[in-house]
Structure 1
Amino acid sequence: MNAHLEQLSPQPLWRHFRTLCNTPRPSGHEAALVALLEAWADQRGLAHDRDAYGNLRLRKPASPGHEGAPGIVLQGHLDMVAQANADHPHDFTRDPIDTFVEDGWLHARHTTLGADNGLGVAAALAVLEDDTLTHGPLEALFTLEEESSMGGALNLAEDWLDGRLLLNLDSEDRGQVYIGCAGGADVMVDAQLPTSALRDEEVAVRLSLTGLRGGHSGIDIDKGRGNANRLLMRVLRDLESLDARLVDYRGGTLRNALPREAFATLALPVDAVEAARERLPTLEARLRDELAGADDGLALALERVSAPEGEALTRDASRLLVAALHAAPCGVERMSVTVPGVVETSNNLGVVSLEAGRFHLCALVRSLRDSAVEDLADRFRALFDLIGARTRVENAYPGWTPDPDSPLLARFRALHAARLDVDPQVKVIHAGLECGILGAKYPDMSMISFGPLIRGAHSPDERVELASVEEFWGLLRALIEDLA
């Protein structure tokens, strides 16, 4: 499948990306790809090993006469975000990604593309097989479970890597180089809430909010896009005056993707159903007006459904839960003063569920300041303590402190200007690059991050500009040779 990719340029990179598209690799399911890459390394005569967590390292000796050059680590993550449109059945553990080219961009049909970070991995593999390249000692580090928990980087073996220059290939903007990133943590909230049976005068209705763009919960958090969980809570607050009670709820699928859809089953007095239906056009128009120009596809729908087998939350429990979620931090919390134009602290209400009275929330807090991550997580704890929920913080990872005086950065800037006749923009990103975690484990390692132009990451709108991939490939090869 995806044979057309091998007709694109640079051919070695796209050939490896085809392999990645054809090999299912959602977070937690990278084993088949790891085995495939190990077999490929054996065929090429490349040394390979894994650490205790399963992160994969491939190694290639320096070109003759360049053994004394600084060792370079090419780094990316093997997993991809698994997001598909609701009307498109796709099993990310079994089905390949179906790609197509349109107007100079590569897309996937109705799913995430996996350019994040498949193109970085493909570029590293293409470098390792390029025998025309002059280079010092090379290592390719491929981590696991970046998208779900940063697990690979957090559990990376210390004193394992030899190189002291790291090129992270997981950025998504042409003409930019990143030297810092936000840290973050998952905030998990759970509760068993009281329920009661539906009354004789109640019926069940299904409330849907669909059509949002979604996107990356860090990079796109300041784009004004809607969060389906946040918006549906506003609708539910309005319907409380009709004595609506939550039966179940499902919104969002990943904590690091902006939720595009949310669905709630409600117990509603039968004589209030028509009133609820009549309110929806006004509520929809209000939300669409607020999102105009940033997220124009929002749609609300209400339909009668069969009575559920389970019970609904009690009226008080339903009101308290909706109120807590309505009040929870969501979106940009603070912009940075020291790095103008960059989000300092944010939160994404990523995954919310309710079933048989069991409530679960997974939010992702990010910040350039570790203290702000801790404070925002504590605000969640304080808020949800009020409804008797249990809050815990997991998978915390540090930010990457910028080093604008890095010699590696200076070399990249000079090379970029010489090749492309323009200086790169030096940036700090509001996303969880693995560099912060790797830097804590290898404090003497110098790092930069760059990549091709990717848009819509973490959503089925994900796409990559083909011309930017050629530019990225040329820069990567030239930098490796320059450092040799």
Structure 2
Amino acid sequence: MESTVSEISQLSPRPVWAFFDQICAIPHPSYHESQLAQFIIDWAKGRGLDVRQDQTGNLLIRKPATPGMENRKGVVLQAHLDMVPQKNEHTVHDFTRDPIRPYVDGDWVTADGTTLGADNGIGMASCLAVLDADDIEHGPLEVLLTINEEAGMDGAFGLEAGWLNGDILLNTDSEQEGEVYMGCAGGVDASMHFPIERQADDEGLARFTVGIKGLKGGHSGVDIHTGRANANKLLARLLSHHLGETDTRLLALRGGTLRNAIPREAFADIAVSADQQQALAAAIDDFAMLMKAELGQLEPQITVILEPCDNPVAPLTRAVQSRLLAALNAAPNGVVRMSDDIPGVVETSLNLGVINTEEDRITVLFLIRSLIDSGREMMQGMLQSLASLANVTVEFSGAYPGWKPDPDSQIMHIFRDTYEGIYQRKPDIMVIHAGLECGLFKKPYPTMDMISFGPTIKFPHSPDEKVHIDSVGHYWQQMQAILKAIPAKSA
């Protein structure tokens, strides 16, 4: 391993933090994992480990059992290679070139103005630390590192049957120490397309950018129940209602960057006649005061801006503008239904994640999540109805299944017993309202026994992301105990 680059490498447990420090030093946002993958391949070969890469780009590293444990069931430790690239507005950072800059902040590790990548970098670091260790007892071991989990689960979709030998899979992509997950939501992406029609520009129009900034954002599954504001929805509300008396003409919209992150910022380029500029400014001020009153406790940094802009395009036709803003304002967003079977867990939700203006259309991206197929289908039907009313098209893609809980899971019982043995309390057995790769792994490996666990990570998919230092130690201790407790194969 190369020399470490920050203070976090000295934290305990050092094997995990040293690898995570190195992971932070190598850019690895979704679709750009090749540099990190090559580093891991070279490192594994240097350690004399069996390492291979499939056609999709997933990595598989095998390590023989420690002496005397050759007859144990095989275990697959699993993490994903990519991270979500999000940064604060004034942070200068190129996720494809620049390293993440982690630092210690009290009891937590966070990053300087960007996502940290603890999701799923800590899990990946722990897998590599097990491979590197000579003092951890385990049976036959495999480490599976998948690509592009955050932007489409491409690695999990591409995983081939027969590639893995293990009987048990330990997914490391959960985000609350003391909880173990045995099920997750499925999901589907939705793309709504509004064809652009523009009319001849009237001379004398003043051009401005209006925007919503300073929101917390977050993970569109894990944080969807918190009530955090969606910048795209707030901008639609501003444009469709609060600017309705100013004859505002729309030039372009943009908001959010990922369909699985609650958008923190959204902007519209607009045009108004010179005699309406004062009314426009007053309306923006009124909306800013309203947002502070409504959301100030939850979103203390919310800001509504009005700035001159130089976008030269002609305004949208009134008909297109009307349909677009009505659809955005009416679009469902957030928690749709809580689960009846699992108290406190979201059953079905939707995130209006991205708005982007292209040359000939405006595209709106949603992510639907649900623990049940019928909930996902219900939301698809709602978006289809909305598109029909707006006279536009909607496309669905990338559907992935949920992970159905198995109450008879042997590895679940092992986790529970080892955790209770260490901490004298039972872990919380959970189902998560987010997409884990386990549901997709069940297709090529239907009999594989799986759980998901991890350290405590707060606010993933946002620049506020942080991982609790002590929880990493607890997670590492639990992983070692589980590996030691794996039973022998049946005769």
Fold similarity call, TM over 0.5: yes
Letter in 2 for 1:465: H
Q: Which residue of 2 aligns with 1:265?
A: 269
Kindly report the root-mean-square deviation, in angstroms, between the aligned alpha carbons of the 2 structures. 1.3
Shift of 1:201: 4.0
Distance 1:267 1:164 in 2: 62
Shift of 1:160: 1.2
Listed one character per residue, the Cα deviations across residues 23-82 of structure 1 (whole Å, up to 9, x for unaligned) are: 100000111111111111111111011222111100001112211100000001000000
Listed one character per residue, the Cα deviations across residues 334-361 of structure 1 (whole Å, up to 9, x for unaligned) are: 1111111110000101110124452011
Query: Are residue 198 (structure 1) and residue 206 (structure 2) matched?
Result: no
Distance 1:425 1:314 in 2: 55
Distance 1:11 1:179 in 2: 29
Distance 1:295 1:391 in 2: 31
Distance 2:167 2:244 in 1: 58
- Residue 71 of structure 2, aligned match among 68, 73, 77: 68
Q: Which residue of 2 aligns with 1:448?
A: 451
Identity of aligned residues (%): 46
Query: Are residue 7 (structure 1) and residue 27 (structure 2) matched?
Result: no
Listed one character per residue, the Cα deviations across residues 424-451 of structure 1 (whole Å, up to 9, x for unaligned) are: 0111100001111112221101111110
Query: Are residue 317 (structure 1) and residue 324 (structure 2) matched?
Result: no
Listed one character per residue, the Cα deviations across residues 236-274 of structure 1 (whole Å, up to 9, x for unaligned) are: 012122111210111000111100001110111221111
Q: Which residue of 2 aligns with 1:290?
A: 294
- Residue 384 of structure 1, aligned match among 346, 366, 387: 387
Distance 2:105 2:78 in 1: 29
Distance 1:341 1:255 in 2: 24
Q: Which residue of 2 aligns with 1:277?
A: 281
Contact 1:312 1:357 in 2 (8 A): no
Contact 2:6 2:103 in 1 (8 A): no
Contact 2:177 2:471 in 1 (8 A): yes
Distance 1:358 1:392 in 2: 14
Contact 1:224 1:295 in 2 (8 A): no
Q: Specify the SS of the correspondent of 1:134.
A: coil
- Residue 352 of structure 2, aligned match among 335, 349, 352: 349
Distance 2:45 2:448 in 1: 28
Distance 2:61 2:32 in 1: 20
Contact 2:6 2:102 in 1 (8 A): no
Contact 1:229 1:349 in 2 (8 A): yes
Contact 1:249 1:355 in 2 (8 A): no
260-269 or 383-392, larger mean C-alpha shift: 383-392
Count of equivalent residues: 483
Letter in 2 for 1:249: L
Query: Are residue 252 (structure 1) and residue 270 (structure 2) matched?
Result: no
Distance 1:424 1:361 in 2: 40
Distance 1:71 1:356 in 2: 53
Q: Specify the SS of the correspondent of 2:366.
A: strand
Q: Which residue of 1 aligns with 2:462?
A: 459
Distance 2:426 2:345 in 1: 20
Letter in 2 for 1:121: M
Q: Specify the SS of the correspondent of 2:271.
A: strand
Distance 1:465 1:62 in 2: 31
Contact 2:78 2:143 in 1 (8 A): yes
Distance 2:113 2:83 in 1: 15
Shift of 1:200: 2.0
185-194 or 75-84, larger mean C-alpha shift: 185-194
Letter in 2 for 1:266: I
Q: Structure 1: any 5+ residue segments left out of the alignment?
A: none
Q: Which residue of 2 aligns with 1:414?
A: 417
Shift of 1:315: 1.5
Q: Structure 2: any 5+ residue segments left out of the alignment?
A: none
292-301 or 108-117, larger mean C-alpha shift: 292-301
